[in-house]
Amino acid sequence: MSPYYTQDTMEPLGVPLPTLRRLPLYLRLFEQKAETGEEWLSSEAMARELGFGAIQVRKDLGAVGALGSPKRGFPVGETCRLLGSFLGAEDFSETFLVGTGPLARAVLSDEGLEKRGFRIVAIFEPDPRAPRPSDRKYQPLERLPELVKRMGTRLAILAVEPCWAEAAAEVLARSGVAGVLDLTGVTLAFPKEMAVVRESFCAGLSTLAGNVRAKKARGA
Amino acid sequence: MSPYYTQDTMEPLGVPLPTLRRLPLYLRLFEQKAETGEEWLSSEAMARELGFGAIQVRKDLGAVGALGSPKRGFPVGETCRLLGSFLGAEDFSETFLVGTGPLARAVLSDEGLEKRGFRIVAIFEPDPRAPRPSDRKYQPLERLPELVKRMGTRLAILAVEPCWAEAAAEVLARSGVAGVLDLTGVTLAFPKEMAVVRESFCAGLSTLAGNVRAKKARGA
DNA sequence: TGCTGTGAAAGAATTCACAGCC
DNA sequence: GGCTGTGAATTCTTTCACAGCA
């Protein structure tokens, strides 16, 4: 039985999007504590470390059904498992990677992914003339839809060069994957039944710059 | 004089964070239109392409002072400049990069950054024994604070291996940079007067997985 | 008619206040 | 005391409805 129910009503939970974005941060904290062998972690300690309110931390954790204990906080091991299974692993561990350039390489060498239970199970390249990376096998992009069907994969990471982004996005759109992590930085249209998370260095930096500016405007 | 004032009240604007995160998407759309030579872009066209409401697009653009024209939409060239200067370029173009691994390489090879006006002006590496990349010069991390002071750089991208993350974060915290784009995926503490944007493949994938799950729960 | 701009209403997310438990 | 869990209050975002303009 899937564990994602609120504690009291036993209704499946719609976790608010902002909460969803914070959950990975909590998970990391719990994992760190697990490594040092600590058993309990309080919302206030987390809040201090992350720079936002303790009540928010509790609400967020409560939203996925995490259960803490008065005076001590949240049990490290159990909460780790709960967050880990909610956030990925388990149902969504198998992921396709589209692209073989520097960005795709960065994804492949990210230790965090496998630590969290995600596994890149196949790599695809849309450009037939792309230099062939020596260290891992990859397939032409056209074969992706077929493999999605055969393997039941539901997640894909799009990390191709900008010029190939649209072509690749179209293939993905028709492929039947449920969600795409779009790292291309190009504005791509996906059917709206697909889940899309867009992330790019550029957008991140822009947001940061805007942030700094806003902070200064308020503070000074 | 800085142009970031609301049109009517002439008060400096506090752009809502969710809006701030969407602005880079609009900017990309405008840039694309600029390339194909089109002069006008309507909020509804944008909305269709991005998959959210037209009213929201108008509110967001309005929040940075963009001004559209009835029946036609928003002027491509002018809005490009406005968004571009609000989001980065101009005041924040010079950026330090910390790290020389695959992730840092991906940042360096990202065409989007320079296209948007950001420039990596120096690269730092905390690990004295890291393999020396042949193609670009870099400096030991200890020199960063000094260079921040001399060059007045305000933004840094943190892209080191996880094991060096904390050490690097400490140096950054004392260095006087105003904002950090943290790509390490490690939970790091920064002084709260610093602006921090965290981004990682892992968090992105986790969010995506949660998203897919939530979508399914609602839809079916 | 076709689109923007805006004040008002609805809906979410965050914060507060306090009850409960060890 | 120290910390969690929760309903109520507040604040922030989004959406709606319509006025205005070319």
pLDDT at A11 over 50: no
Mean pLDDT in residue range A162-180: 96
Cα separation of B37 and B31, whole Å? 10
Mean of pLDDT over chain A: 89
The predicted-structure confidence for A38-83, as pLDDT tens digits, reads as follows 999 999 999 999 888 999 999 999 999 999 999 999 999 999 999 9
- In this complex, do A189 and B28 lie within 8 Å of one another by their Cβ atoms? no
Q: What is the CA radius of gyration of chain A?
A: 20
State residue A217's pLDDT score: 66
pLDDT at A12 over 50: no
When pLDDT is cut at 50, 70 and 90, the band that residue B12 belongs to is: very low
When pLDDT is cut at 50, 70 and 90, the band that residue B92 belongs to is: confident
pLDDT at A5 over 50: no
Range with the largest mean pLDDT of A123-132, A166-175, B84-93: A166-175
Q: Which is higher by pLDDT, B174 or A87?
A: B174
**What φ, ψ does residue A194 adopt, rounded to 5°?**
-90, 145
Q: Is beta strand A195-198 parallel, antiparallel or unpaired with respect to A179-182?
A: parallel
Nearest CA in chain B to A217: B12
State residue A13's pLDDT score: 54
State residue A218's pLDDT score: 61
State residue B91's pLDDT score: 73
- In this complex, do B201 and A92 lie within 8 Å of one another by their Cβ atoms? no
Burial class (CB in 10 A: 0-12, 13-18, 19+), B130: middle
The predicted-structure confidence for A175-200, as pLDDT tens digits, reads as follows 999 999 999 999 888 887 899 999 99
Closest residue to A106, CB basis, from B12, B87, B105: B105
State residue B5's pLDDT score: 44
For residue B192, the chain A residues in CB contact (below 8 A) are 51
State residue A66's pLDDT score: 96
B17 Cβ contact list (under 8 Å, min separation 6): A211
Residue A11, CB, strand D, below 7 Å:
no
When pLDDT is cut at 50, 70 and 90, the band that residue B18 belongs to is: very high
- In this complex, do A103 and B95 lie within 8 Å of one another by their Cβ atoms? no
Q: What is the pTM of this model?
A: 0.89
Q: What percent of chain B has pLDDT over 70?
A: 91
- The owner of tokens 């249209």 is A189
- Closest nucleotide (CA of B55 to C1')? D15
pLDDT at B51 over 90: no
The conformation of residue A141, written as its DSSP 8-state character, comes to G
B26, B5, B87, A49 alpha-carbon torsion, rounded to 10°: -110
Q: Is B4 left (phi over 0), alpha (psi -120 to 50) or beta?
A: beta
Q: Which is higher by pLDDT, B185 or B135?
A: B185
The conformation of residue A143, written as its DSSP 8-state character, comes to G
Mean pLDDT in residue range B49-60: 93
State residue A220's pLDDT score: 52
The predicted-structure confidence for A101-116, as pLDDT tens digits, reads as follows 999 999 999 999 998 8
- Number of Cβ within a 10 Å radius of residue B90: 13
Q: Which is higher by pLDDT, B192 or B68?
A: B68
Nearest CA in chain B to A2: B213
3-state secondary structure of A95: strand
pLDDT at B4 over 60: no
Q: Which is higher by pLDDT, B1 or B168?
A: B168
Distance from first CA to last CA of chain B, Å, rounded?
A: 53
Mean pLDDT in residue range A206-214: 86
When pLDDT is cut at 50, 70 and 90, the band that residue A125 belongs to is: very high
User: Angle A201-219/B76-87 helices, nearest 10 degrees?
Assistant: 70
A212 Cβ contact list (under 8 Å, min separation 6): B92, B154, B155, B178, B179, B195
Task: Output the distance from B197 CA to C11 C1' rounded to whole Å.
Answer: 27
Mean of pLDDT over chain B: 89
Nearest CA in chain A to B115: A202
pLDDT at B203 over 90: yes
Query: Is the CB of residue B107 less than 8 Å from the CB of residue B157?
Result: yes
Longest dimension (CA), chain A: 61
Query: How wide is the angle at C-alpha B34 spanned by C-alphas A188 and B28, nearest 5°?
Result: 35
State residue B218's pLDDT score: 61
Cα separation of B185 and B202, whole Å? 7
